[in-house]
Structure 1
């Protein structure tokens, strides 16, 4: 039986991402988030308008989307309720956030230089997606009570780095879903993937048929 319900959050399960950006003084910021989805070499991010990551993306127009596996969960959790904003915004103070200048240090993670942007990669993460800002949009702009609180970003991927441990045997451009174990956030809790439950008809489609013009653009 289905019941009418009003949960405050609708995080039914999405990958955790560590967003690397550059602060105005040249230092690095690193922020965990899971409000994200991909289509081709584009992705959409949803972030608080008051976050340091939002400020940095709007200023620099770039970031690196580092995807941790289940093996980096403790490092990700060390970043929980931290912010690169000083002073801490009131809404985050209410949730118990604290200011941290050295996000990489407290997480125990290692910054790596990117190739197409100045934002940092995370050595320990199996997936690094360098990206530039294509467009931004205020979420809930039609509602006065919510207007200006959340920003959505359309990012275009400019370079991808994949650890060889998650690739299909003999295929450098294809991730093996039996090897890749992304860290998943579901209703504020961490989860991993289980085993495959059923063969997929969509998996029978050759992956190259999904290639878009953004891949050629990224090579320029």
Structure 2
């Protein structure tokens, strides 16, 4: 589930094409992400975004210093430098606060179905071909408009971790893995 402001270009593209790629950066890519902060791919910038200082930029990959590479299951490109890339199709759009006339149509939750997962092999847990090692993965997180990383130290063991992960697996995982080339989960 992705919560997005529908006036932004990303959700507009998702609604138009029914596809997207989620490029997941690390804490080491904070500068690339921040260079995109007040840019939009929409030629016509909505007034509220103009007031916030947004500018039109059609070449966001170049501005961020990222390299676009082809996806395998969707048309949208992936960012080579991001260690995790999720190709996805739009399953459903759910409007948020649709009963409020001031907000109706402005916010939506987008339910996406992952069609292919690309993971840098160095992030995988030893002995598991499809499990990311949380001690190795340092995602960039935005928390109340500020960037944060996560610690690689486990706060406490979880009894849920004692359950074999495959017991939770949905059939989409196996479908997305069909014919995946080496180095792709």
User: So what's the TM-score if we normalise by structure 1?
Assistant: 0.78
Rounded Cα–Cα distance in structure 2 between residues aligned with 1:215 and 1:186 = 29
Aligned length: 177
Matches within 5 A, 1:14-33: none
* Structure 1 Cα separation of the partners of residues 174 and 132 of structure 2: 20
What is the SS of the residue equivalent to 2:31?
helix
> Aligned runs of 1:6-85 on 2, under 5 Å?
44-85=1-42
Rounded to whole Å, the distance in 1 between the matches of 2:15 and 2:144 is 28
Equivalence for 2:182: none
Q: Distance in 2 between matches of 1:65 and 1:187?
A: 20
Q: After alignment, is 191-200 or 68-77 more displaced?
A: 191-200
* Correspondence for 2:167: 209
Alignment equivalent of 1:90, drawn from 47, 50, 53: 47
Cα pair distance change 1:216/1:171, threshold 3 Å: closer
Helix, strand or coil for the counterpart of 1:119? coil
Inter-partner Cα distance in structure 1 for 2:174 and 2:122:
25
User: Partners in 1 of 2:157 and 2:76 — Cα distance?
Assistant: 38
When normalised by structure 2's length, the TM-score is 0.92
1:35-184 superposed matches below 5 A: 44-184=1-141
What do residues 101-141 of structure 1 show as CA deviations (whole Å, max 9, x unaligned)?
10001000011111011111111111010000111121110
CA distance in 1, matches of 2:44, 2:9: 11
Residue 146 of structure 2 aligns with which residue?
A: 189
Question: Structure 2: which 5+ runs fail to align?
Answer: 180-185
For the residues of structure 2 that align with 1:197 and 1:47, how far apart are their CA atoms?
30
- Post-superposition CA distance 1:141-163 (Å, at most 9, x none): 01111111112210000000000
Deviation (angstroms), 1:217? 3.6
